[in-house]
Structure 1
Amino acid sequence: MSTTTAAPATRPYLSYVYAYPHKTAYRPLAGRPALRELWAAERKDALSLYLHIPFCEVRCGFCNLFTRIGAPDELTTRYLDALDRQATAVREALGDEEPVRFAAAAFGGGTPTFLTAAELERLCDIAEKRMGAELRSVPLSVETSPSTATADRLAVLADRGTTRISIGVQSFVEAEARAAVRPQRRADVEAALDRIRDARIPVLNIDLIYGIDGQTEDSWRASLDAALGWRPEELYLYPLYVRPLTGLGRLDADGGASADAAWDEQRLRLYRAGRDHLLAHGYEQVSMRMFRRADAPRTDGPDDYACQTDGMIGLGCGARSYTTKLHYSFDYAVEMREVRAIIDGYAATEDFSRAEVGRYVDGDEARRRHLLQSVLQAEGLRLADYRERFGTSPADDFPLDLARFEARGWLDASAGASGLLRLSPEGLAHSDALGPELFSPDVRAAMAAYELK
């Protein structure tokens, strides 16, 4: 029986749980296991493929992603060369004893469209010719930014089968964008959205952020309405976080807004206003962050990174790979100097046949991950799926946690009749508090011991 010891949540915004365990819980792997051995017994008929491009034209004040500003000295060429070598090694490790098929693909970062149109062609070639992914036959999601969503790049992506493009706008109010250390002109944002629509990529996602200094309910609604004017198939609403070693983290080094209960109240108020506004305009809530237009085409890709099972191949120095028992990647950092060193090291690597850094995720941790990634979706966790996979129920494995969440009103009491474990609207609003409470003691200890760099 698994339990978690955690103090009652006092703040609604502890951490965005987009993957479990977080990379700060990864450590160098003893013996550097060979990829061929790690993947030998894995199913390979419905893999996901993720290619990571760690470059941006600017680094936003809130960003703690693994990325750097610019790419001097032909670094993008050297990086793509390394990505090609890694793809070759990984495909060899997957073997040909059974069919290898990719069911979904994504290019993320950083900003993949930091690459030129010709470099994007090469990136697609790596996915197709080295890995064997049929990009025009599977859901393909690509991230972009207003300044890099140029017509020539979008034409490449559309031609190579991109089904979803996600653009980080954050705010249509220029003063708010500056406050988030993301200087941009609204006219440039609108021009980029116009080019995306002209490219006829089926699904447009727009990212917006709430909780920015100076943001009000009126200005938040103005951004929402500006986004709705483009009828995006998806909208992601992100609460602002102030994280260490980021631009805003340095500005807030005295612990101002990030330790302010009033800021929590502001973010919750804006979240609820945004949620209700989108629901009233024909959108369905998929998770705390994700909203989908009710009549939007479905690409049948994974929602909101909710990959409860495994089979993820990540290429690039910031990408994760998942087998049924091991999550692995490369070293992780946030501070720019450290990030640059890791990228340079990756670009110079010749041998990609072994896993370097990671964490084993089996037994209790596999149950914990499945629960986390399922229950944080609005549709909830299917109890029959959990029992089929683990032979138990969440109530067997996490009785104290579920009792605590129920006492707080975070669970939908009516969901059990439909065979679901599902969050209530209030539970969904507190996803960033609930998720971290389900971290195991071992993962908590590893994250606490990680030396931030």
Structure 2
Amino acid sequence: MPSTHAPFLESPDLSVPQLHRVMEIFFNTFGISQDRSGAVEISPATISEQKLALFKEYNVSRISVGVQSFLQTELRTIARGTTTNQITSCLEMVKQLNFPVTNVDLIYGIPGQTPDTLAESLKTALSFDIEQIFLYPLYIRDLTPLKGKSISENALLLYQTGRDILLGNGYVQDSMRMFRKPAPNDLKNSDEYCCQEDGMIGLGTNARSVHYATPYAVGQTQIKQLIESYIKLDQNDFKTAGHGIILSMKERKRRYLIKSILKCRGMKKQDYFKYFGSDCESDFVQIHRLKEKGLLVDCGTHIKLTEKGIMYSDAIGPFFISKAIGRRMASHPAI
């Protein structure tokens, strides 16, 4: 499949010289053109004007800010080391540099969160004239301070609250999580990243490419050790991937299907046939089952999630995962 885009870096607490080194690896070792779309995820606690200027120099097209919440009490609940002042300062710096796209990540389902507190965070995000807002459910991961805690019981209501606020403010919903400002006349931007068809390379200790990931850590000490070992690698070490599996044709079909139908625009059946030479509904009986439950609908040219299906996307994706891949995921502590 064609590779026309390259979202590429999650930026932990790296110095400017270290970020220069990562950029050099990306552009020189991998030979990626600066003309391609690139994204950097930043933390308000560690960003600086110098780092943002470096990203601007390398023509980064999208800055994603890990805000999670604009309320200090909720940030403490999810063990985030950022303050609301740092978040505000970060967004002001980002907007001043006029990156083509600024994204803000927000979390719903935080213990103690209410529709009113989520609405307050969204109101603050909207005041910054943000191009994209990702609304994530709270995930409880191994190795994190939240392990053993439970997501808020009113998570579904919180999702609906956030969705309705964003749609009411003119945003377009691309998936369960992603909301964006519409393009002029809502025409599809030809430079839009399409995860199921375009290539992607992820660099950084917590970044993952579409196909493989390097070692994972959460604690600051372990993260710094990974960073130190990463930047000491020889150039030849970047020519091969040390992690991952080669997907069979059946798994490639599953991956394409999952990444396509979880987008609101759905999967074009003709595109599936073009890539794989088979009919998607014949390949996956799960499609028929989800139609019967009112979660998927056949629009003729496309198979799309219904409004209910979008709401339950986090259950629909795993529904298509094979048992073999499910066992691999279960054995990995970071997934």
TM-score band, normalised by shorter chain: 0.7 to 0.9
Give yes or no for the alignment of 1:171 onto 2:69. yes
Task: Return the letter of the residue paired with 2:305.
Answer: L
Give yes or no for the alignment of 1:377 onto 2:263. yes
Q: Which residue of 1 aligns with 2:274?
A: 388
**TM-score normalised by length of structure 1:** 0.66
Q: Which residue of 2 aligns with 1:330?
A: 214
Give yes or no for the alignment of 1:213 onto 2:131. no
The offset of 1:182, in angstroms, is 1.1
Residues 270-312 of structure 1: per-residue CA shift (max 9 Å, x gap)? 101111110010100011100001147958241xxx5223644
Asked if the contact 1:164/1:205 (under 8 Å) is kept, the reply is: yes
Give yes or no for the alignment of 1:161 onto 2:59. yes
SS at match of 1:357: coil
Task: Return the letter of the residue paired with 2:214.
Answer: F
Residues 81-115 of structure 1: per-residue CA shift (max 9 Å, x gap)? xxxxxxxxxxxxxxxxxxxxxx3233433x25x32
The offset of 1:355, in angstroms, is 3.5
SS at match of 1:361: coil
Asked if the contact 1:170/1:209 (under 8 Å) is kept, the reply is: yes
Which structure 2 residue ranges, 5 or more long, are not aligned? none
Q: Which has the larger radius of gyration?
A: 1
Q: Which residue of 1 aligns with 2:180?
A: 292
The offset of 1:408, in angstroms, is 2.1
Q: Distance in 1 between matches of 2:19 and 2:214?
A: 23
C-alpha distance 166-333 of structure 1, shift in aligned 2 (>3 A): closer
C-alpha distance 329-215 of structure 1, shift in aligned 2 (>3 A): closer
Q: Distance in 2 between matches of 1:301 and 1:361?
A: 25
SS at match of 2:299: helix
Give yes or no for the alignment of 1:105 onto 2:3. no
The offset of 1:423, in angstroms, is 0.2
The offset of 1:335, in angstroms, is 6.6
1:41-190 to structure 2, matched below 5 A, reads 46-47=2-3, 103-109=4-10, 111-112=11-12, 114-135=13-34, 137-190=35-88
**TM-score normalised by length of structure 2:** 0.88
SS at match of 2:5: strand
Aligned equivalent of 1:444, options 318, 326, 329: 326
Asked if the contact 2:115/2:158 (under 8 Å) is kept, the reply is: yes
Q: Distance in 2 between matches of 1:349 and 1:122?
A: 11
Q: Which residue of 2 aligns with 1:59?
A: none
Asked if the contact 2:9/2:203 (under 8 Å) is kept, the reply is: no
Give yes or no for the alignment of 1:403 onto 2:281. no
C-alpha distance 217-312 of structure 1, shift in aligned 2 (>3 A): closer
Aligned equivalent of 2:97, options 199, 211, 220: 199
Name the Cα RMSD after superposition.
Answer: 2.7
The offset of 1:406, in angstroms, is 1.7
Residues 378-409 of structure 1: per-residue CA shift (max 9 Å, x gap)? 1000100001111222210112x122212221
C-alpha distance 298-123 of structure 1, shift in aligned 2 (>3 A): farther
Query: How many residues end up aligned between the 2 structures?
Result: 330
Task: Return the letter of the residue paired with 2:24.
Answer: D
Task: Return the letter of the residue paired with 1:185.
Answer: T
Q: Distance in 2 between matches of 1:452 and 1:309?
A: 25
Q: Distance in 2 between matches of 1:152 and 1:343?
A: 20
